[in-house]
């Protein structure tokens, strides 16, 4: 079976990536990951105890369940901190994958774009497969792709807001102008948001709160899986053109006369 997409030297079948924060327990996180069909689970290195005992170690539980870990630099507010955290993740987890986050504002959690570009240059040069979280800014995404990032991850809305895609026009421009996989990150609140992202042509969707904060997280994880799959199929099928007026399903020619 051909992979759905690749990130550097890494190939994936599932176009849904999920997070590991805000769950009630490690077991709930595992149950949601399985229901989502995700292969890749992102974990904040600065917020999880890597040396936690067995049974309380999230990394160990995910690895034993067969998931691939995408360490992220959440909680970093400078390029230097993000680079240091990425190197620590590579040493501890033996992966070159890193979701790069450099936060510029603590209240909104919007990224610091200049610092993100600086950190991305360093990490790409150091041999990382860099997946940067960034604003839905076409120019910033183009610059990150030019640096050599394996993908760009524009936000759909502020982290944890559940507002859905606020600016589909910007995402369309990014998809048309960036020569790298585009993974919609942050702001997805329900299945229809994920479907819209995929219908626009996104390579994949990353989400955390949309699943973890649902009334039934496991059921929402399954809904997100189906939404991502159906949205991708709709994108590949190509939607019909929109029309202002009605268009009959049956032709007028050859109508029976009564």
Task: Find how far residue 90's CA is from the centre of its chain.
Answer: 20
**Catalytic site residue from 22, 99, 215, 219:** 99
Only one residue has tokens 């895609």, namely 165
In three-state secondary structure terms, 251 is coil
**Angle of the 138-147 helix axis to the 168-177 helix axis, nearest 10:** 30
Cα(155)–Cα(137) distance, rounded to whole angstroms? 9
DSSP string, 2-68: --SEEETTEEES--EEE--SS-S-HHHHHHHHHHHT-SEEEEEGGGS-TTPPTTS-HHHHHHHTTPE
In Å, how far are 62, 91, 210, 215 from 15, measured between CA atoms?
18, 27, 16, 24
Answer yes or no: 99 catalytic. Answer: yes
What is the radius of gyration, based on Cα positions, of the chain?
A: 20
Residue 120 and residue 100 in contact, taking contact as beta carbons nearer than 8 Å? yes
**Catalytic residue ranges:** 99
């Amino acid at each position: 079976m051909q992979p759905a997409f690749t990130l550097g030297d890494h190939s994936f079948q599932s176009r849904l990536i999920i997070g590991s924060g805000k769950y009630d327990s490690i077991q709930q996180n595992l149950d949601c990951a399985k229901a989502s069909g995700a292969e890749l689970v992102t974990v904040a290195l600065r917020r999880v105890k890597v040396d936690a005992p067995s049974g309380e170690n999230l990394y160990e539980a995910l690895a034993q369940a067969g998931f691939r870990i995408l360490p992220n630099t959440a909680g970093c507010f400078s390029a230097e901190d993000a680079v240091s955290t990425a190197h620590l993740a590579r040493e501890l987890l033996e992966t070159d994958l890193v979701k790069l986050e450099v936060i510029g504002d603590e209240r909104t959690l919007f990224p610091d774009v200049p610092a993100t570009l600086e950190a991305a240059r360093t990490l790409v040069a150091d041999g990382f497969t860099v997946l940067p979280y960034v604003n839905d800014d076409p120019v910033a995404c183009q610059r990150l792709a030019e640096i050599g990032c394996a993908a760009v991850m524009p936000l759909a809305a502020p982290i944890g807001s559940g507002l859905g895609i606020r600016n589909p026009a910007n995402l369309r421009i990014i998809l048309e102008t960036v020569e790298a996989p585009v993974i919609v990150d942050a702001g997805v609140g329900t299945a229809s948001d994920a479907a819209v992202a995929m219908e626009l042509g996104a390579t994949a969707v990353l989400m955390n709160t949309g699943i973890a904060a649902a009334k039934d997280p496991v059921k929402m994880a399954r809904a997100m899986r189906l939404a991502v799959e159906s949205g991708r199929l709709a994108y590949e099928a190509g939607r019909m053109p929109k029309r202002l007026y009605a268009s009959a399903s049956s032709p007028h020619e050859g109508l029976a006369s009564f």
